[in-house]
Amino acid sequence: MEFVITEYKNCALMEISGRVDSYTSPMIKDALESLIADGHCKLVLNLENVTYLSSSGMLTFINALKHCQQGDQGKIILANVPPQIYSNLELAGFHELFEIYGDVLTAVGKF
Contacts of 61 (CB under 8 A, 6+ apart): 45, 76, 78, 94, 98
Q: What are phi and psi of 80, to 5 degrees?
A: 55, 45
Q: How many domains does the chain have?
A: 1
Predicted confidence band at 70 (pLDDT cuts at 50, 70, 90)? Answer: confident
| pTM for this prediction | 0.94
Other beta carbons within 10 Å of 14: 20
Angle at 99 between CA 54 and CA 67, to 5 degrees: 70
Q: pLDDT tens digits for 2-39?
A: 999 999 989 999 999 999 999 999 999 999 999 999 98
84: amino acid identity, one letter: Q
Q: Residue 101 sits in a domain of what CATH number?
A: 3.30.750.24
- Domain enclosing residue 35, as ranges: 2-109
